[in-house]
A = this chain, B = another copy of it.
Amino acid sequence: MIVQMNPTRTLLLVEDDAAIRSLLVLHLEQAGFRVLEAPDVRTALRWLDELLPDIAVIDWMLPDVAGITLLERLRHNDRTRQLPVVMLTARAAEADKVRGLEGGADDYVTKPFSPRELLARIRAVLRRRQPEPEAGPVAFGGLELVPDRRVVRREGAEQTLGPTEFRLLHFFVTHPERVWDRAALLDRVWGDDAFIEERTVDVHVRRLRLALRPLKADGMIETVRGAGYRITAIPLEPL
């Protein structure tokens, strides 16, 4: 009987030291991970290009580009922005830790470390990330969002959205009916560290509506004057 069979997780391991790498691969695979090995950033990017892992473990010091740089690149790309990252470092310096965490690392492990410790951190990060699965397709009021392709579907018809449009719609769909004011949307869709005019939200809402028009679903995004916007399930015209 299966109590809790976790689906196999894919893990990207970016580490140049072959010895450490194979040691980790051993443990990681034994722990049920499918490991993508990358001795350098170039290889890592190739992997990422073809397959989005569930988590990445990145060595701080790498031969070609600093691991921290890779981290920043990941955070800069829409596809990898949500990717959980655990940094691996030989330095115990606090400054690095801060920089790493600020750069968006979810945790970091200092060498020397036991594989068990790394594993524990990885699991903790995955667990923490779990509650907000940005990945799976979402459906609401006849719409279906496909995060992989940034596409909305309705009765077969498809519309591709821009990155921000998609995140916005995704947020609405996962928090339906309620009214969200512009500030809240900036916080939750753009991130609370984005310093953006509130009116920009209007523009993006408009773009989203425009994109939804071909699906005759633009009416789902309602304006609540003086308050904000909300998505609501309404009877839609047939396509």
Copies of the polypeptide in the assembly = 2
Q: Are A5 and B226 in contact (CB under 8 A)?
A: yes
A164 shortest CB reach to chain B, Å: 10
Q: Which residues of B contact A5 (CB under 8 A)?
A: 226-227
A165 shortest CB reach to chain B, Å: 12
A1-23 contacts to B (CB < 8 Å): 5
Q: Are A117 and B148 in contact (CB under 8 A)?
A: no
A94 to B93, CA, bound (A): 12
Q: Check: A216 CB closer than 8 A to any chain B CB.
A: no
Q: Are B230 and A149 in contact (CB under 8 A)?
A: yes
Interface residues on A, range: 20 to 34
A104 shortest CB reach to chain B, Å: 15
Q: Are B227 and A127 in contact (CB under 8 A)?
A: no
Q: Check: A224 CB closer than 8 A to any chain B CB.
A: yes
A121 shortest CB reach to chain B, Å: 8
Q: Are A179 and B116 in contact (CB under 8 A)?
A: no
A5 to B187, CA, bound (A): 20
Q: Are A120 and B195 in contact (CB under 8 A)?
A: yes
A44-99 contacts to B (CB < 8 Å): 94-95, 97-99
A127 to B95, CA, bound (A): 29
Residue of A99, A117, A150, A195 with most partner-chain B CB within 10 A:
A195
Q: Which residues of B contact A175 (CB under 8 A)?
A: none
Q: Are B187 and A149 in contact (CB under 8 A)?
A: no
Given contacts A94-B95, A123-B183, contact A227 B150 (CB under 8 A): yes
A111 shortest CB reach to chain B, Å: 15
A187 to B132, CA, bound (A): 14
Q: Check: A137 CB closer than 8 A to any chain B CB.
A: no
* A→B interface (CB under 8 Å): 5, 94-95, 97-99, 114, 116-117, 120, 123-124, 127-128, 148-150, 163, 178-179, 183-184, 186-187, 192, 194-196, 224-227, 230
Q: Which 10 A-B pairs have the closest CB atoms?
A: A124-B192, A120-B195, A94-B98, A117-B195, A148-B179, A163-B226, A123-B183, A94-B95, A149-B179, A116-B195
